[in-house]
């Protein structure tokens, strides 16, 4: 049974060792992305982020589907035109509209714990861009990947024009966006997107599960949160980054997990980390960046 049964089009499980799995769960529609799915994913990621029992979050396609992680936006009931309550006021609509994919990728990006996308099937359009806010991506070698926006007459969404160049480089990102082709997950142009590739959807999910378990049992959750912040919310110069690193080292080095980590090393045993997120985050220091509010009521896919 889902941890949050009221959320539509997804299923959430809390497994052993604090590993949460969020499944896209529309197998009859190849897990195609819908507005209810978008809203459910945002709620789920926010709840898991706030739950101290959760240490790692995995995003995966429903194992009942078999071939698709997410086939992209569900276009069976319409196109990409805006038809919400602001549509009669074009200026307001331009400023107030939020694409549903962006709300999802940013909700995943906001999770203060390690996040893993197990791309255990075909991922096209929002199906692939929603994963770019994850820390780590595994993929099945059987999967097809497509950044197909130019063939649909739209632009890359889900903040992918921000994430993708940073993950694989500007030139590769531009080629994927400009050609808009569906290609094999094993294509060399995608190599930098994956932590690793696996021979089947099942092996892909198992690899994500194994890594999540390893992280949850071995690592400090406080360290993980601070590391995510340092990498993505860093400074504009090495000198300023050094000053930020120094503050983070001061805070982390005086934590109970740091003392345990050093003692475990001396004792030649596995560490037993006890701090949880968000309860034990150093609020006097974290977050050190301004939190930008991007939501508005009634955002449409």
Domains of the chain: 10-216 (3.90.226.10), 220-301 (1.10.12.10)
Coil vs helix vs strand at 196 = strand
Give the Cα separation of 176 and 69 in Å (integer).
Answer: 19
pLDDT for the residue numbered 80: 64
Give the Cα separation of 207 and 196 in Å (integer).
Answer: 9
Count of other CB atoms within 10 angstroms of residue 5:
9
Bridge pairing between strands 144-146 and 196-198? unpaired
pLDDT for the residue numbered 299: 42
Of 12, 19, 63, 18, the closest CA to residue 42 belongs to: 12
Which contiguous run of DSSP H or E holds residue 195? Answer: none
pLDDT for the residue numbered 92: 62
pLDDT for the residue numbered 86: 46
User: How many helices (H) and strands (E) would you count in the chain?
Assistant: 10, 10
- Is residue 123 within 8 Å of 70, Cβ to Cβ? yes
| Phi, psi for residue 183 in degrees, rounded to 5 | -130, 170
- Is residue 56 within 8 Å of 18, Cβ to Cβ? yes
- Is residue 116 within 8 Å of 96, Cβ to Cβ? no
- Strand-pairing partners, residue 115, are 57
pLDDT for the residue numbered 291: 85
CA 297 → CA 80, 86, 89, 269, 289, distances in Å?
A: 19, 11, 16, 51, 24
Bridge pairing between strands 144-146 and 115-119? unpaired
Count of other CB atoms within 10 angstroms of residue 87:
13
Give the Cα separation of 213 and 243 in Å (integer).
Answer: 33
In residues, how long is the chain?
301
Give the Cα separation of 122 and 131 in Å (integer).
Answer: 13
Mean pLDDT by 10 residues, the chain (301 residues): 93 97 96 96 98 98 88 79 55 75 96 98 98 98 97 94 98 98 98 98 98 97 98 97 98 95 96 96 94 64 41
Buried b (16+ CB within 10 A) or exposed e, 136-170: bbbbbebbbbbbbbeeeeeebbbbbebbbeeebee
Give the Cα separation of 183 and 143 in Å (integer).
Answer: 9
Question: Can you list the pairs that 191-194 forms with residues at least 24 positions away whose Cβ atoms lie under 8 Å?
Answer: 192/167, 192/168, 193/137, 193/139, 193/167, 193/168, 194/119, 194/137, 194/138, 194/139
């Amino acid at each position: 049974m889902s941890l949050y049964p009221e959320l539509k089009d997804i299923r959430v499980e809390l497994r052993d060792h604090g590993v949460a799995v969020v499944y896209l769960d529309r197998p009859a529609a190849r897990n195609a992305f819908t507005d209810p799915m978008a809203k459910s994913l945002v709620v789920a990621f926010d709840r898991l982020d706030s739950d101290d029992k959760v240490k790692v979050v995995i995003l995966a396609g429903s194992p009942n589907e078999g071939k698709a992680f997410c086939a992209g936006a569900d276009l069976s009931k319409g196109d990409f035109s805006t038809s919400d309550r602001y549509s009669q006021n074009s200026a307001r609509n331009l400023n107030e509209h939020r694409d549903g994919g962006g709300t999802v990728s940013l909700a995943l990006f906001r999770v203060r714990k390690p996040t893993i996308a197990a791309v255990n099937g075909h991922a096209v359009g929002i199906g692939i861009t929603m994963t770019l806010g994850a820390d780590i991506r595994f993929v099945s070698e059987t999967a097809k990947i497509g950044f197909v926006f130019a063939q649909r007459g739209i632009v890359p969404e889900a903040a992918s024009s921000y994430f993708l160049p940073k993950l694989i480089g500007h030139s590769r990102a531009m080629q994927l966006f400009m050609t808009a082709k569906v290609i094999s997950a094993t294509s060399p142009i995608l190599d930098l997107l994956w932590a690793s590739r696996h021979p089947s959807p099942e092996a892909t999910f198992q690899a994500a599960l194994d890594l999540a378990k390893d992280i949850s049992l071995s690592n400090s959750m406080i360290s993980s949160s601070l590391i995510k912040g340092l990498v993505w919310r860093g400074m504009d110069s090495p000198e300023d980054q050094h000053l930020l690193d120094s503050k983070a080292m001061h805070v982390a080095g005086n934590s109970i997990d740091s003392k345990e980590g050093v003692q475990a090393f001396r004792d030649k045993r596995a560490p037993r980390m006890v701090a949880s997120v968000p309860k034990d985050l150093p609020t006097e220091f974290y977050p050190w960046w301004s939190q930008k509010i991007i939501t508005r009521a009634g955002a449409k896919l």
